[in-house]
Amino acid sequence: MNIRTYIHTQYAWTLPPIVLAAVLATVSFAATNDQNPCTEATSQKGFFTGRVTDSNAKPINDATVYWGQNHVYTRYHESTKTDANGFYRLEATKQRPSTSHLTVFAEGYAPFWQEDVIPGTCEDPNEVNFTLAAGHQLTVTVVDENDQPIPAVHVEPSFYGYCDQLPGYEILRTDANGVALLNDLPEPNVRILLARDWFKNKYFIANVDTDITVTMAPAAVIRGLVIDDQNGLPVKNFRITTIPGQSQTKCFSDPNGYFQIDNIPWPRDFELIITAENYPALYVQQAQSSRPDKAETKVYFLPKPRLVNAILIDEATGKPISHATITSALIRQPESSIERSSMMDAKELTTDEQGRFTLCDEDGSQSQDYHFGDDPHYRMRTLFINLDGYESIIIHPTERKKYLTESGSLRIVLARGASISGIYAINGRPKKDVGLFLSGANHRHFGWIKTDESGSFMWKNLPQGYYHILGPFFKYQLKLDKAEQRIVDFAEEMGNCTFSGYAAKDNQPLSNATVNIYPTFESPLREFWSRTDEHGYFHFENLRAGSYHAYPGSAYAGGGNDCGPQLVTVTENTEQDLNFSRRR
C-alpha cells in the first residue's frame, strides 16, 4: 500500500474533505516527482498535476486528461490517466507553451474543459483540479425524407473541442433501425453532427435526456457529358477536379462521356477542371450542384487548343538545346509577383533533337481568369526555363512578343548563366551556416543559401541584371553582365562601436519599423538595419567608427523613401535621436 492510499483509508472520515485533498495533493506530487525525476531534458517542458473527483469529492479512477494548445482549430497532443485516488501528472509538450487547455473525460461523467491554463515546470507543475458532474443521455433516431431509418450514420457530439481527435474516442453510428444512444453528455444541450455518404450533413442542437428524430436530406450531384468540341464525339476517359473546399479529382470512363459527381453539398456553385489526354484543360466556373431528383445533365465541350511552336537555342554556339525540360503553367497573378503566384495545371515539356517543343494555349471563352496575354480568348501559359549552365528565365505571356518570329513561332535564345560566389568571413575567419538571400530585378527571388564549412557560397544560372544580397549585417548591391562569373567576398570587420537612439518621423515615433544605416566610407553600398521597439528606440552594435547615412526603412510601418537621410558620426558609444522629415 502506498502512502497516498494509506492516508486516504485511515483519515478519509476524520479529516475535512478540503484538508484531505490538500494532504493527498502534496503527497501525490512528492511521490510523482520521485517516480519522474526532473532532468535537464525536462527543463523546457510544461507540466500539470491535480486531482479529478466527482460532485461528492470522491476520486475518479481511470479518467483521461487531455492537453492541447489554445487555437481556433484545437489539436490534442498528450494525455494521461488518473490513478486510484484520482491523481494525475501530465507532461504538456516538448517546449512549454504560454497557454493551454485541459479536457477531462471519464465514463459515466460529463466531460469538463478548462481553458487558458499555464503549464508549470517539472519542479513546480501547475495544479489544476477537476470536479466532474454526472453525464446525461440522448437518443437520436435518423430517418430519410420517406421516414425510413438510415443506418450507419456518423453521430458526433460537438463539445469541448474536436472529440474525434481524442485517442480512443469512439465514433458512434446509428444501428439498423437508425438509432444511436449518446452517453456522458453535459447539460443542458449539445450540438450534434450527422454525416453519411449520399446524404447532406446535418447539424442540430438537442436537449439532453430526451429522444429526438432527425430527418436527413439526400446530398447533391453534378451530372454532365464531355464532348469533343471539334467532332462532336464523346470523350470516353477524362478527369474532373472540383473546387472549392478540399479539391477532389475523380477519373471517369464512360463510352458516352457521361459523369456524375456524387455526395456534395447543395445548393452550391463549384468550379470544375476537366482534363483528358490530348486536350487542354477546360475550366468551368459555375457548375451548380442539385438534388439527385432534380439534377440536369449538362454538356461540356473540351476546347480546341491553340498550338504554339517554339525552339530553344544556345546563344554561344547557335545550336538547338535538345532534351531540355521546361515547365509551363497557368498563373493567376501578373508578372510582378510571378514566383509567388498561384500556379495551375503545371506541365513539363521536353525539347526534341532539334530543340523544338509545342506550347498549348487553352480556350478561355468560359473564364476571365489567366488572361495575362495579348489575346483574351485564350489562357496563355507562362514558361519557366531553368537549365543547368544557362540563365534562368521566366517568360510571361505579355513577354512572348520578344521571342516571336514572323511565322508566329517562338525562338528562345538562352545565354550562359552568370554566377555569384564568394566567401563570408568575420574578423578574418570564414563563417559557416551564415544565411544569405539573393533578390533581383522584377521582384524575382532566388532564395536563401547558407555558407559551407569554408564560408563559401554560390548562386548559379543567373540572368544579367541588378541584384541585392542580404546578409545578417548588410545589404549588398551589384550588377551582373551576361554570363559573368562574379566573385564577391564579404570580410566583415566587426567593430566595437554602438549606435542607439530614438527614431521619429515628422515628430511621431517609428514603432516596429526598420532604421537603415550605410557607411559613407565603403563602396559598393552596404546597409545595416535595426528594428525599433514599440516606443521607437533602436540599437546597433559591432559597428566600425565612421560616418553613416541613416534613413527609415520602407518595408515596415512608418518608413518610406519620401524621407531624406541623416548623417551620423559613430564613435565608441554613440547615442543620437533621429527625427526624419518628409522631403518637400
CATH number at residue 355: 2.60.40.1120
pLDDT tens across 488-533, in order?
998 877 777 888 888 777 777 878 888 888 888 764 456 777 888 8
- 254/343 same-domain check: no
Residue 575 burial by Cβ neighbours in a 10 Å radius (0-12, 13-18, 19+): exposed
pLDDT for 376 equals 47
Q: Whole-prediction pTM value?
A: 0.43
Question: Quick check: 115 pLDDT over 70?
Answer: yes
Can you give the residue range of the structural domain that contains 273? 220-302
Residue type present at position 326: I
Q: Which of 132, 161, 186 is the last residue of a domain?
A: 132
SS3 at position 10: helix
pLDDT tens across 310-364, in order?
999 999 999 999 999 998 877 755 444 444 445 667 788 999 999 999 887 765 4
The span from the CA of 445 to the CA of 215, in Å, is 55
The span from the CA of 505 to the CA of 495, in Å, is 29
145-159, 235-249, 282-296, 568-582 — most confident range: 145-159
- 26/100 same-domain check: yes
Nearest to 239, CA basis, from 227, 225, 253: 253
pLDDT for 377 equals 43
Chain centroid, CA 396 distance in Å: 27
Q: Please list, in sequence order, all residues whose beta carbon lies within 8 angstroms of the beta carbon of residue 493, skipping any fewer than 6 positions away.
A: 427, 544
- 395/501 same-domain check: no
Q: Which run of H or of E encompasses 221?
A: strand 220-228
The span from the CA of 154 to the CA of 404, in Å, is 59
pLDDT-based confidence at 17, cuts 50/70/90? low
CB 478, CB 469: distance < 8 Å = yes
- 428/526 same-domain check: no
Nearest to 65, CA basis, from 80, 45, 54: 80
Q: Which run of H or of E encompasses 241?
A: strand 237-243
The span from the CA of 35 to the CA of 25, in Å, is 15
SS3 at position 471: coil
Cell digits of residue 81? 490517466
pLDDT-based confidence at 543, cuts 50/70/90? confident
Q: Which of 492, 508, 543 is the last residue of a domain?
A: 492
The span from the CA of 324 to the CA of 333, in Å, is 26
The span from the CA of 30 to the CA of 48, in Å, is 14
Omega before residue 472 within 30° of 0, cis: no
User: Phi and psi at residue 372, in whole multiples of 5°?
Assistant: -105, 45
Question: Quick check: 291 pLDDT over 60?
Answer: yes
SS3 at position 220: strand
- 194/80 same-domain check: no
Q: Which of 367, 394, 414 is the last residue of a domain?
A: 414
Average pLDDT over residues 459-487: 87
pLDDT for 522 equals 63
- 209/229 same-domain check: no
The span from the CA of 76 to the CA of 91, in Å, is 13
Question: Quick check: 263 pLDDT over 90?
Answer: no
- 124/40 same-domain check: yes
The span from the CA of 543 to the CA of 572, in Å, is 9
Question: Quick check: 537 pLDDT over 70?
Answer: yes
- 45/144 same-domain check: no
pLDDT-based confidence at 1, cuts 50/70/90? very low
pLDDT for 352 equals 94
Question: Quick one: CA dihedral 42, 46, 50, 52, positive or negative?
Answer: negative
Average pLDDT over residues 180-184: 90
Greatest alpha-carbon span in the chain: 103
In this predicted structure, which of 137-151, 202-216, 273-287 has the lowest mean pLDDT? 273-287
Q: For residue 479, what is the domain's CATH number?
A: 2.60.40.10
The span from the CA of 396 to the CA of 49, in Å, is 60
- 515/446 same-domain check: no
What value does the CA radius of gyration of the chain take, rounded to a whole number of Å?
Answer: 34
pLDDT tens across 140-163, in order?
999 998 899 999 999 988 754 444
CB 224, CB 297: distance < 8 Å = yes
pLDDT for 117 equals 84
- 77/157 same-domain check: no
Question: Quick check: 85 pLDDT over 60?
Answer: yes
* Domain count across the chain: 6
Question: Quick one: CA dihedral 326, 328, 331, 336, positive or negative?
Answer: positive
Pairing label, strands 220-228, 297-302 = parallel
pLDDT for 13 equals 47
pLDDT for 284 equals 85
For cell 555558407, the residue is: 451
The span from the CA of 131 to the CA of 51, in Å, is 9
CB 187, CB 206: distance < 8 Å = no
- 266/325 same-domain check: no
- 107/169 same-domain check: no
Q: Which run of H or of E encompasses 566?
A: strand 566-570
